[in-house]
Amino acid sequence: MSRVLDSESLKRVYARMFTAYGPQHWWPGETPFEIMVGAVLTQNTAWTNVEKAIDRLKSADALSAEVILHLPESRVAELIRPAGYFNVKARRLRNFCAVYRENGGDEGLARLDTHDLRNRLLGVNGVGPETADDMLLYAFARPVFVIDAYTRRIGGRLGWYRRDEGYETLRHGFETALGADVRLFDEYHALLVTHGKDVCRKRPRCEGCCLREVCPTGNA
């Protein structure tokens, strides 16, 4: 980034989105494991489809690392079919479950410091930076800011940075400007996604956009 992110601008945008949409109550899931499975399944996929896949895993009594590792990959793929990319995601889920088990499950992973935990997750073939950071923030309440396509699109329109800026640069930029605050990071990311779905896609002319007055191009 050519310049550091402005803390006041970030907080102003957050306040406007929070006023417009209210608390988002992310991430759906009863356990860290369920949240992490959801993070893999939601890759480039609408959450409504992920919910169907998780429901099918639950119905088959297969929402556990042991069962997923025991079942044939084709069976896992069949169960998660509604989430799309079911063949690659079945393989990724099994890769993740193997590492999850090797590291002692929810409790074992929770004992790792954030840097260590992030590296373990990134070591899984199929878990990239965004998925790992979803897991860190929402499953383990670590102060890690998640950068996704909506963060890039909205921040880009607001003139904060280039959309193709590197992932780590953006993550570090948000974390430095906002300070380590799990609840803020949690809500901020969720609000960006909600705002992106609400305005950026459904209302291309930004009618009634809560960020209109703070957007230099008038189309955030």
Partner DNA sequence: TACCAGGAGAAAA
Partner DNA sequence: TTTTCTCATGGT
Q: Which residues bind DNA (CB under 7 A)?
A: 26-28, 38-39, 42-49, 52, 77, 81-82, 84-89, 124-132, 134, 138, 148-150, 193, 196-197, 201-202
- Asked if residue 23 lies in contact with residue 183, where contact means CB atoms within 8 angstroms, the answer is no
CB of 7 to DNA, least distance (A): 25
Name residues whose C-beta falls within 8 Å of residue 109's C-beta, 6 or more positions apart in sequence.
32, 100, 103, 117, 120, 140
CB of 61 to DNA, least distance (A): 20
Q: Looking at beta carbons only, is 6 or 55 nearer to DNA?
A: 55
Name residues whose C-beta falls within 8 Å of residue 162's C-beta, 6 or more positions apart in sequence.
1, 156
SS3 state at 219: coil
CB of 185 to DNA, least distance (A): 13
CB of 92 to DNA, least distance (A): 7
Q: Which residue in 27, 52, 4 sits closest to 146, CA to CA?
A: 27
Q: Looking at beta carbons only, is 84 or 105 nearer to DNA?
A: 84
The residue to which tokens 């793929």 are assigned: 77
Q: Looking at beta carbons only, is 76 or 210 nearer to DNA?
A: 76
Q: Looking at beta carbons only, is 193 or 210 nearer to DNA?
A: 193
Q: Which residue in 196, 194, 188, 195 sits closest to 171, CA to CA?
A: 188
CB count within 10 Å of CB 73 equals: 13
Q: Looking at beta carbons only, is 10 or 137 nearer to DNA?
A: 137
Q: Which residue in 63, 60, 26, 61 sits closest to 41, CA to CA?
A: 63
CB of 189 to DNA, least distance (A): 8
What the block records as the tokens of 132 is 């790992």
